[in-house]
Amino acid sequence: MMIKKTVGFEKFEVFAREHMSFFPSGSELQWLRYVWSQMIQLNMASYTNEIGRHLVFLRFLSLYEQMSCFVCLTFAKKRPFPAAEAMEKLKLSDFRLGQMAGLDHDIETENEESLLDSGLRSLVREQRSSVYNAIFRIFGGESGLLVSLLLLPRESLNFFDFDQLYEAYAPDLLDYPAASQPAKKVSPLQAMKSGTCA
């Protein structure tokens, strides 16, 4: 019988504080913690073998990448994707990632470090759709997701009581420019979903 293990946010806590912070408020870490707790409920954070463990960690990195995309486009704050740090601090195995990539990824680089970076990014991108759909569901649709992300620069927010936050802030925040981009411009949520953030 295979034993199912669940990865809690505490596995990512130190890594997230070191490499995923954008605002002095630290609200983005609270957002990540809340969303991850809900992804646990959606059975997206459990595994029974090492390939499964890596898949769970890739989902977390995709969650971060999508939040980072929105923050970059909306608040003009950018951090490089912490590929090398993720490999080391999250104890990701290049062998397991290679197994997962298989022959389906056309990755050519000049050195092993670049290969690992490109390979990890490619695997994280593969998780984008399922992770975005989960976030969309967690916040009850587009307006809820948008409000949650627009709240990131604010102090002392409890995303675990999101219904109350939405009620308090949605009327003002949904008038924010990010909520109504010009027709020819990709909105931050669309970019987050499609990965067109660069």
Q: What angle do CA 90, 96, 101 make, to 5 degrees?
A: 110
Q: Which amino acid is at 139?
A: F
pLDDT at 1: 64
User: Residue 121's pLDDT is what?
Assistant: 87
Per-residue pLDDT averaged across 192-196, rounded?
82
Categorize the per-residue pLDDT at 172 as very low, low, confident or very high, splitting at 50, 70 and 90: confident
Task: Calculate the average pLDDT of the chain.
Answer: 85
Least confident range from 17-26, 144-153, 173-182: namely 173-182
User: Is residue 153 over pLDDT 60?
Assistant: yes
More confident residue, 175 or 3: 3
Higher pLDDT, 138 or 194: 138
| SS3 at position 173 | helix
**Top-confidence residue, 116 or 131:** 131
For residue 32, CA distances in Å to 39, 119, 139 come to 10, 24, 13
DSSP alpha helix (H) spans, 42-161? 50-75, 83-89, 94-101, 112-126, 128-138, 142-150
Q: What is the predicted pLDDT for the residue at 194? A: 85
Spatial CA neighbour of 158 closest among 13, 31, 21: 31
Average pLDDT over residues 15-31: 89
pLDDT at 104: 58
